[in-house]
Structure 1
Amino acid sequence: MAILEELFDLTGRVALITGGARGIGLESARLLAEAGAAVALVDRDGEALEAAAADLRAGGVRCLAVTADIAEPARLPAVVEEVSDWAGAPDILVNNAALVQRVPATELTPDMWRQAMAVNLDAAFELSRLVQPGMVAKGGGAIVNIASIMALSGGGFYPIASYHASKGAMVNLTRGLAMEWGPLGIRVNAVAPTWIRTDFNRAFLDQPGVSEPLLASMPLGRFATLRDAAAAVLYLCAPAAAMVTGHVLPVDGGYLAH
């Protein structure tokens, strides 16, 4: 096997990816599968999930679709069990699913706040906790949390307090689990993407006066692509990153260099 192939070989690995029906989750699944992993996509949008899984399977990818709302903690053990029964215990976990609430802090109700934490933080912790024993039994694994540049800065372009708080907590959860589980062979890292024009936020970014200041804040002068973010996920899951843990990798066009 060539050195480059060896550095990114994920043959025999099983990846569980939340928010896998679209966006960074789906693009990450494509790259991980290209590297040889079997991919299990988890999403609450069953219709979009099945379409995404069918597209991957048509390309020869070994793929499982699991419809579940990860904000419901009681559902998560069954999700991990279903994936494990299908292909073996996950040795890759990508905590990608997220909820964004662009409203002033004074308009965030307690229920809205708890909902953001349930999706963006609580589910990431619970799934990490649930896959940990299987990873230990297999001799190690890789967890990648999809954070955000908003986890590492105050933003200031628009109000998004619940997202800031939950993603900031995810960054320190990443560090904490990396310290605790490193001796067990489990690497825990995070990717912090900048703005990406997706179906999820295209309408927002296309509003007059929104894109210009965002683009001006990034030295590279463009939004990130799904491939930009997914490539970082692939790297952190691959043997190429065997000595990387507790790291937050910005994919931000230089935004955080200010």
Structure 2
Amino acid sequence: MFKQLFDLSGRVAVVTGGGRNIGLSTAMALAEFGAKVVIAEIDPQVGEEGLAALQAKGYEAELHQLDVTNSKAVTACADAVVSKYGRVDIAVANAGIALGSPGELMPDEQWHKVIDINLHGVFYTNRAFGKHMLDAGKGSIVNIGSMSGIISNKPQEQVHYNAAKAGVHHLTKSLAGEWAKRGVRVNAVAPTYIETAMTKTGAANPDWFKTWMEMTPMGRMGQPSEIAACVLFLASDAASLVTGHVLVADAGYTVW
């Protein structure tokens, strides 16, 4: 019985930013449990590499080039997926970037870039794929937030990133409340520092890394697969009673 709750056979899943890191690991997890996976990736080369990795394992997958800050393009992507497969069951809004700058010196351009990708892009993804799920009366959306939406990181300065991720968490709860009675669940995962290309520069700074580890009870960074496992749970029927939840996977960072 319980094994069947994780079975995604016949379902269609879309993962934005799915060409590498957390996105690719998530696509792998969903595909391993039977889903047909669509990688939505802005970088064609990264997308092709991710697609090749999935297909090398025999998984059914395809690639859509997508800039999540372009709302019309996100809508077109959702429409194309449903037109081809007749359905979309799972949408993972994972695409995001991290930049740093002191608040008082932050250029408008950097503020807008981070907010556009990390918050607006998540909303556009929820809206576009959510519409089709609402029409079908079922579906699961998982947004990738961050512990940065709960606490303010140090020593790096990233007010735009923190604000965007806090917005993702509240967006998740808001849409979950709107759509619960219409069969669509909306949840989020809030990771700690994960060993990816995004955190490579920060982790290479000995002062930063020392602070990160001192503030993390488990004393380690996370792996993309550990976040993918959280997404798999929330996307599956094993989480059928769960909506509006922010699943914190932070190695204990936010307990203090």
**What is the TM-score when the length of structure 1 is the normalising length?**
0.95
Query: Deviating runs (4+, > 6 A) in structure 1?
Result: none
Please tell me whether the aligned partners of residues 90 and 134 of structure 1 are also in contact (alpha carbons under 8 angstroms): yes
State whether structure 2 residue 29 is matched by structure 1 residue 31.
yes
Q: Where do 5+ consecutive residues of structure 2 fail to align? A: none
Cα deviation for residue 122 of structure 1 reads: 0.9
Equivalence for 1:69? 67
Equivalence for 2:241? 243
Equivalence for 1:96? 94
State whether structure 2 residue 205 is matched by structure 1 residue 207.
yes
Aligned length: 256
State whether structure 2 residue 107 is matched by structure 1 residue 109.
yes
Cα deviation for residue 136 of structure 1 reads: 2.2
Cα deviation for residue 246 of structure 1 reads: 0.6
Q: Residues of 1 paired with 2:145 and 2:86: CA distance?
A: 27
Cα deviation for residue 69 of structure 1 reads: 1.4
Q: Deviations over 1:160-181 (max 9, x none)?
A: 0000111001100000001000
Equivalence for 1:15? 13
3-state secondary structure, aligned to 1:210: helix
Tell which deviates more after alignment, 68-77 or 50-59: 68-77
Q: Where do 5+ consecutive residues of structure 1 fail to align? A: none
State whether structure 2 residue 78 is matched by structure 1 residue 80.
yes
Equivalence for 1:226? 224
Equivalent residue letter for 1:128:
N
Cα deviation for residue 51 of structure 1 reads: 1.4
**What is the TM-score when the length of structure 2 is the normalising length?**
0.96
Please tell me whether the aligned partners of residues 91 and 138 of structure 1 are also in contact (alpha carbons under 8 angstroms): no
3-state secondary structure, aligned to 2:62: strand
Q: Residues of 2 paired with 1:143 and 1:124: CA distance?
A: 10
Q: Residues of 2 paired with 1:120 and 1:5: CA distance?
A: 34
Equivalence for 1:184? 182
Alignment of 1:47-196 (within 5 A): 47-196=45-194
Cα deviation for residue 126 of structure 1 reads: 1.4
Cα deviation for residue 132 of structure 1 reads: 2.0
RMSD between aligned residues: 1.2
Q: Residues of 1 paired with 2:137 and 2:77: CA distance?
A: 22
Q: Residues of 2 paired with 1:222 and 1:52: CA distance?
A: 26
Q: Residues of 2 paired with 1:52 and 1:135: CA distance?
A: 26
Identity of aligned residues (%): 36
3-state secondary structure, aligned to 1:153: coil
